[in-house]
Structure 1
């Protein structure tokens, strides 16, 4: 489950990723929309009454609003021609203390229910369905339970489990103790071992609050909205979590988890009637209407601004150790249920902050006072926050003055018309771009507004808001400036919050936890201690038992399609460069990619490649400075980026392709402009502005440093794989802890001249048509135009313009040959074992062990894939999460590596032992045919996850894996048996057989430091 510290505040259209799905230019009826267009307001359907039916052409959907007659439950259905159907139910949850009751309840309701009394039906359904998404979220003021699937039978199965979990959970005491918190002997089997706090949410929130950005955002929200539910931590303050009792948890469920307090949302092409019938019969018909007291009052506005301060842990990875202060000015704005005001404030926010042309970017980022903008939060009433992180303490007053002055300048000067147009163009792109998780994006986007009784359908009518906005600007050219005066200049509800590092921060946290622990222990009688020991044994006993999940619904392996859907591509050349053309219903968008090989790049430049990728599109090109370049990219494209790409060969572990991937998209009408921008980036990028480079370096280094506390398991996995394959070594160089430390060193350099000189050297090796291949996804009607434009681009950037070769599409697969020609063998690479420990300022660990196995086309790859899923579900989940208290953990297979990992884990050696015991469990064959079948379902749910039109054919383009190779792998997955699983477990993972790497990121650990087998960084 994922705990969301903040709800969306209705000010972030961009984050919601609105995407159109239908290939037509105009809204036209589809089977899904035609069915619901027949409904009439007032019509009764399975206990519900239709309130309104509204076509939303912008998003190619028809919305149906309904109310449940008996309970008053609200319902919104978005009918759309999309097979990836989604369900979600959200409940307004308004805690009034820091115990994390809604968050712990979110975990506990998914641990068994009346109809499905087995333990952990949520995690068990992950392996009994073909879901494309399953999760649950706790926000500041609501809890949401969404899932999605492309299979109709699966939808009904999951809906049944979710409804029963939410409205009829068991809420057992042992589940509360496991998921929330408990006092227990460190070793549950030894009553003499010390008593400690345990619990999944307890450890999750310790991990969450090891992220300084999260600490700041949470404190900011609590202090800006101090008078009601936003003044507390909905996820749980770690030291307040042990104040929550099981009785309080059950009471919170009784008062908040009632259909009268619920909002149901369904999306996709399945019939609405079927959903309504099942929801009414299985849940809502068993309730009567109540009047839930969960409404959130508006925060009383202050008559004068306030200031506050918070401390945090020093960041060892910070770009500048002497600049670790954060300052933010936050303003309480308007009610988010006013959709036009919310839209206007969203645009205003972007105009003031986003990109190098924004006033606050110019005023705060470019003077290099700090490294990046600080956090933003939001709730029932929108807020706007502006500030800096990575500042020196002496600059705090200066930043306050700059913020006030910048608002004054905006009021005086307004915004350029072209910047406003660029922003509106971005919204047009977002509406046309199609994603595979549109339903989930939609559910997330409407959640906050709908939660406070705003109209979700009005929120979806984006074109109406754009028209209204344009009219407002036309009627009053100072429309936006007046908003700035009202919401910022004259607003007395302003919080100025500073944060500074405290060297003793972690020590104080440890001490506070120890004091809390001792206080709890001192209140215990001998009888209480005996009871704790016995409950610990009882929980351990239940956790250790094989659970009977036969009550849960499940798909069968026979429900999986035996063959893959073939993606048709054509190949040809443009200007002599191999190109893959894939015709798709892209809704008027063109998607361009190019892979540029790094094979000729000298070794000393390799570490600089990610930096090159992050700055090459942001420093100016041709006749454009970096501000003009950014403006043109916003006006003419859906974004242009370059990123590193390392792909292992599908048949040989010691071969790989290293390169950089160019990606961009645009509306069909802007294709010449997009390719012209690429031409300028290739032919005349600007590498002469050290001041601009320093700004980008500081932002990049800060972003990397901030990311470790949330993605520590990814860094651990990358590091563990470093010495096992050439691909692993490169991925550590480009995106692991090695890159984080390198960027910190670059950020600390007083003079970046040498770095500036390095960039053109990299450019000569990378941006070279001789080592390139391209891919274009577009509509059939526009493909020939795209091919012609691409030919012009390639001829413009060719080193010899006389070598102009005509565009043509030919049947032979030159792309595959081009890909194979760029694959490189690493002759000197020798796999070796290594254990690495990174001491980090966290109270929890991220642990990984990687084992070298076989490539994608090897006959054993399928068995290892099934083994990883089965071991995760049937062994590691119980050992690492349930018994160990980590937020998550498991195994995965890919890139020739079998990888174990854990996330926000209180343990280290115990988890490594669980990894090894998991292998013993597999070798001993302690699993059933049902376990194998469930693992196959889980693997196929990932293999068959939906692919957006923009990404069709990309697997083939990037890795050379054809549909034929995918089908062969699919058949091997179906053929996996218990014998093949036991065989691969022993042959690749058994002691004496494996070549493995281990990595841990976590707090200081004397046991590891004293062990000479570990390398401590």
Structure 2
């Protein structure tokens, strides 16, 4: 996966740790205490301990080691967390845009010395209980991480990862499949035209169909023109065909060596065990080399530069006449200066984050553009950090005006500085982020330290966040102009500044297609008849290899017997506050309180439903009570960990045509701020501001732009949503709230010259939603704070009750389900007259790849067949669809999933469309034929249970019960049904629910113009 590590704007937000969990795993001493027993200079399995540091802020002990024989660097973070993580990171610094590190990342996962079967990486997804498995290619490093809660699983995965990275097969056939190849369009027809194929080739074509990605890549290339950052590490599609198999193998030999590696382990498993396995299975076979992968600092310019690029027009843009982007990007300091990097990251947040920030006020509020440029704020993912600020969605004639505003805002910051309360709000946010417990802390930690460590910075020093905060405060006390002087040095007086503008070109995609055709022509015009025959033969060989059953017996695997037969229970207490049902869940939340409220939409008139996502987006951003929107945002930062509202559609677990519709309120805070948090909610309920049309327009434009930008990254989700719309009432509403219908609705609102009708709709929605009569709440907190939280919640409800107005309205055409005693606070509805039907929808999109889905009406969660369909979806993905859609078809991904009563097929960044729909159908035939083994079933069960048993943070405990009404008993019943699924069950459900003529289905495609679809009357063209 190509990861352009650009959104490190708020780097610390990724670093949230999980406090002590899973006490049953703990020995007589904690993992941190055991790690403190190591001594610098101590030798352990070929490694020498260099440093042992306690990091109390993060409840961990860091042990830094070096491998004696190769010089490989190693960091172990010992914590009482059962979700153990391993990663190995290589510094990969390409000097061209052929995508060699990205293609290599894919190819090393296609078989290795000990595990020569094709695609062991994807096969291990179904042979383990991993909580995470993936690989990432950044601009200057490649990382291979996994995590699991099972110690045997950890050792299995470690063996596979070590062998893949250091001893891969790197077969030419794998390079051709994953990277690029010339092949007949129909591999079995030598007369069909030659085309470019390959998973990475198609992935990057899809990635660069996103104008935001194009801009971010060009900005980096032009700001750092003198070394590895001047090229595209993921691969420029037109340059990828220049890469040869031999060059790939050579890049591996020089870059994938332990002397160029950084190993990271995290969790409560013993360090010695990791070191012994890594030494025995990999490092003992290497000697130290000088890999020569060092990235030099970017030479600084003596004067600023300007440049311009083009992109394709966006049909979903909020204002089609305003699709220009301009941004100023500044070269900052070396990221290995950890305190300076910390300071600049905070400074960036003060400059751009939130409505009180200077650049938000100067650039967004005048409504010159729709949102900040796609790259904004501090970026520490490169050797030298950078800061970028600009606008997208603007008119070309405003570019010079925006440049002037940026310069003027910098001058203003130097003159006036920042309010003390804003600085405190930012430091409070860091405190919250350090307190909040995450289930993926190990992965967040690995990502957080990756860039700095990659350039030989000190990863342990980077973890001393509490010390950084203290030092930052001292700097502010010692020098009141500390931050202003930084702004002057890095921005006003900095000659290394790039101003990059981008405008749409109507012919952009046509030019791209012509360029690809010319590239293809150059590759093919010199081919001899023998070359054509060889290409045809290799195509048949690859197709045969992809179709051949694979023997995966060489791979390690857990057994179904390794899965716990019962899942842990979560005790909750039920009560009321001000007449509202409340679920109380006592958890070790590390001094945090988490509040949720589900507010029903049952009384909301149908014509207001489309406005609900907008209402949710703006209700916490318009101001409330005595606070304007800037003051409200500041108080939220000072007193909470965030306050959000989102629409929620919850299919009923027992009835396919019933569901719950509502909005979910969520907030968190430190225990000392509980009264302030509920005070803010009280003001939002009782006196929200709905009069500022200028403010609303800014929020509407930002929301519309964000939705438009997100389609190319999440096209498969939009396709699945649309395909399932006509199958269940819940699916219909989900499409309304979060599908292409909502994208188009927001685009229409962004185009409105007068938003006063929208302003008038918002208070009407508020009366129906923010009403205690239609609410239920949940609180997760520590036991010693729960009683005081109950009092504050009671006070909040009483304030709301005193101020609410009576509003009886006619109800829409819905019927509430009879309420069971255990389910008394949930209000389920069914739409009168809903009839499932087949609807096929095609959305022509300016992409060179497709997103395809077919969805089938199935059964609800508690139905006896639901578990079988879950196992079937996972097994079809791994054993059939992956090979057909990704390996043969060249899509980046594809598969099947079961959820919400609907069985869905999907593909992602897919060069095919109708062919993929045929692959879905063939997958059903494969399942109905019973062409699978008991091992296949067991592997699918392992994969499903890895999700069922994924770790749950204290903040989220009990949420299944609160949101879905699922008791521990209901979850255990589902678990037992999963265990019991047999081969007969799978064939049976495949025939009864998925077989042709047996099902009600819908389909959707988002992609380029498609003549065959347009000629098919069964498709609706949007």
Q: Report how far residue 851 of structure 1 moved.
A: 0.1
Question: What is residue 813 of structure 2 aligned with on the other side?
Answer: none
1:20–1:431: 8 Å Cα contact kept in structure 2? no
Q: Within 5 Å, which residues of 2 pair with 1:842-991?
A: 842-991=847-996
Partner of 2:154: 155
SS at match of 1:913: helix
Write the mapping of 1:794-809 to structure 2, written as runs, cut at 5 A. 794-798=797-801
1:16 paired residue among 14, 17, 20: 14
Q: Report the Cα distance in structure 1 between the residues aligned to 2:393 and 2:968, rounded to whole angstroms.
A: 48
Retained in 1: the 8 A contact 2:843–2:1007? Answer: yes
Map 1:820-831; keep pairs closer than 5 Å. 820=826, 822-831=827-836
Secondary structure class of the residue paired with 2:385: strand
Q: CA deviation at 1:22?
A: 3.5
String of CA shifts for 1:711-744, please: whole Å, max 9, x gaps.
Answer: 0000000000000000100000000000000000
Q: How many angstroms apart in 1 are the aligned matches of 2:893 and 2:213?
A: 19
Kindly report the root-mean-square deviation, in angstroms, between the aligned alpha carbons of the 2 structures. 1.4
TM-score (norm 2): 0.97
Aligned to 1:118: 117
Matches for 1:436-455 after TM superposition, within 5 Å:
436-455=439-458
Whole-angstrom CA distance in 2 between matches of 1:31 and 1:6:
34
Give 1:802 deviation, angstroms: 13
Q: What is the alpha-carbon distance in structure 1 between the residues aligned to residue 606 and residue 6 of structure 2?
A: 45
Q: Residues 20 and 928 of structure 1: is their aligned pair in 2 closer, same or farther, counting only changes over 3 Å?
A: closer
Match status 1:367 vs 2:366: yes
Q: What is the aligned counterpart of 2:824 among 811, 818, 828?
A: 818
Q: Distance in 2 between matches of 1:460 and 1:800?
A: 47
| Alignment-derived partner of residue 244 in structure 1 | 243
1:361-440 aligned at under 5 Å gives the runs 361-376=360-375, 377=379, 378-440=381-443
**Residue 751 of structure 2 aligns with which residue?**
748
Residue 1010 of structure 1, CA deviation:
1.4
Q: Would you say the 8 A contact 2:21–2:82 is kept in 1? A: no
For residues 394 and 345 of structure 1, the distance between their equivalents in structure 2, rounded to whole angstroms, comes to 32
Q: CA deviation at 1:76?
A: 0.2
Asked if 2 retains the 8 angstrom alpha-carbon contact of 1:869 and 1:892, the reply is yes
SS in 2 for 1:937: helix
Instruction: Quote how far apart the aligned CAs of 1:798 are.
Output: 1.3
Aligned counterpart, 2:275: 276
- Say which of 546, 555, 569 aligns to 2:549: 546
CA contact (8 A) 2:686 2:803 kept: no
Task: Say yes or no: does 1:583 pair with 2:590.
Answer: no
- Residue 769 of structure 1 corresponds to 772
Q: 1:537 deviation in Å?
A: 0.4
**Matches of 1:326 and 1:818 in 2, distance apart?**
52
Distance 1:29-1:333 versus aligned 2 partners, 3 A rule: farther
- Superposition deviation, residue 7 in structure 1: 6.0
Distance 1:673 1:29, change over 3 A: farther
Aligned to 1:810: none
Q: Secondary structure of the equivalent of 1:599? A: coil
Partner of 1:808: none
CA-to-partner distance for each residue in 1:289-329, whole Å, 9 max, x for gaps?
A: 00110000000000000000010010000000000000000
**Pair 1:80–1:30, CA change in 2 (3 A):** farther
CA distance in 1, matches of 2:260, 2:848: 37
Could you tell me how far apart the structure 2 residues matched to 1:231 and 1:735 are? 37
Q: Report if aligned partners of 2:650, 2:963 keep a CA contact under 8 Å in 1.
A: yes
Partners of 2:18 and 2:439 within 8 A in 1: no
Report the CA distance between 1:95 and its aligned residue. 0.1
Per the TM alignment, residue 951 of structure 1 is displaced from its structure 2 partner at its CA by 0.3
What TM-score results when the alignment is normalised by the length of structure 1?
A: 0.98
Structure 1 residue 815, shift from structure 2 partner: 8.3
The aligned runs of 1:509-520 (5 Å cut-off) are: 509-520=512-523
- For 1:561 and 1:225, the matched residues in 2 are separated by 52
Relative to structure 1, the CA distance from residue 30 to residue 426 in structure 2 (aligned partners, 3 Å threshold; closer, same or farther) is farther
Matched with 1:94 is 93
Match of 2:814 in 1: none
Which position in structure 2 is the counterpart of 1:807?
none
Superimposed CA distance per residue, residues 222-276 of structure 1 (whole angstroms, 9 cap, x where no aligned partner):
0000000000000000000000000000000000000000000000000000000
Indicate conservation of the 8 Å contact 1:326/1:391, yes or no: yes
Match of 1:1016 in 2: 1021
Q: 1:800, CA displacement in angstroms?
A: 7.0
Pick aligned residue for 1:623 from 623, 626, 630: 626
* More deviation, 791-800/698-707: 791-800
Report the secondary structure of 1:295's partner residue: coil
3-state SS in 1 of match to 2:712: helix
Q: Matched residue of 1:334: which SS?
A: strand
Unaligned regions of 5+ residues in structure 1, if any? 804-812
**CA separation of 1:771 and 1:937: change in aligned 2, threshold 3 A:** same
Shift of 1:32: 0.8
Do the aligned partners of 2:13 and 2:433 also contact (CA within 8 Å) in 1? no
Secondary structure of the structure 2 residue equivalent to 1:710: coil
The aligned counterpart of 1:493 is: 496
Secondary structure of 2:673's aligned partner: helix
Q: Using the alignment, how far apart are the partners of 2:897 and 2:889 within structure 1? A: 19
1:144 aligns with 2:143: yes
**Aligned-residue offset at 1:799:** 5.3
1:255 counterpart = 2:288: no
With over 3 angstroms needed to count, the CA separation of the structure-2 counterparts of 1:412 and 1:752, relative to structure 1, is same
Whole-angstrom CA distance in 1 between matches of 2:979 and 2:21: 34
Mapped to 1, the partners of 2:830 and 2:307 lie a distance apart of 57
Structure 1 residue 1006 displacement after superposition: 1.2
Query: Following the alignment from structure 2 to structure 1, what is the Cα–Cα distance between the partners of residues 6 and 673?
Result: 35
User: What's the CA shift for 1:684?
Assistant: 0.2
Distance 2:988 2:823 in 1: 35
Q: Find the residue that maps to 2:220 and give its secondary structure.
A: helix
* Secondary structure of the structure 2 residue equivalent to 1:496: strand
Cα offsets for 1:736-782 (capped at 9, x unmatched): 00000000000000000000000000000000000100000000010
| 1:596 aligned residue | 599
SS at match of 1:653: coil
Q: Distance in 2 between matches of 1:775 and 1:649?
A: 19
Distance, in Å, in 2 between the alignment partners of 1:830 and 1:71 is 67
Q: Cα distance, 1:29 vs. partner?
A: 10
Partner of 2:636: 633
| Structure 2: distance between partners of 1:800 and 1:472 | 47
Contact 1:88 1:265 in 2 (8 A): yes
Unaligned runs of 5+ in 2: 807-818
How far did 1:1011 drift?
A: 1.1
Structure 2 counterpart SS, 1:223: helix
Q: Deviations over 1:437-457 (max 9, x none)?
A: 000000000000000000000
List, as ranges, runs of 4+ consecutive aligned residues in structure 1 with deviation greater than 3 Å: 799-803, 813-816
Tell me, in whole angstroms, the C-alpha distance in 1 between the residues paired with 2:280 and 2:182: 41
Q: CA deviation at 1:699?
A: 0.3
2:344 counterpart residue number: 345
Paired residue for 1:81? 80
Q: CA deviation at 1:818?
A: 2.7
Structure 1 distance, partners of 2:256, 2:929, is: 44
Query: Does structure 1 retain, via aligned residues, the 8 Å contact 2:18–2:953?
Result: no
Q: Equivalent residue for 1:46?
A: 45
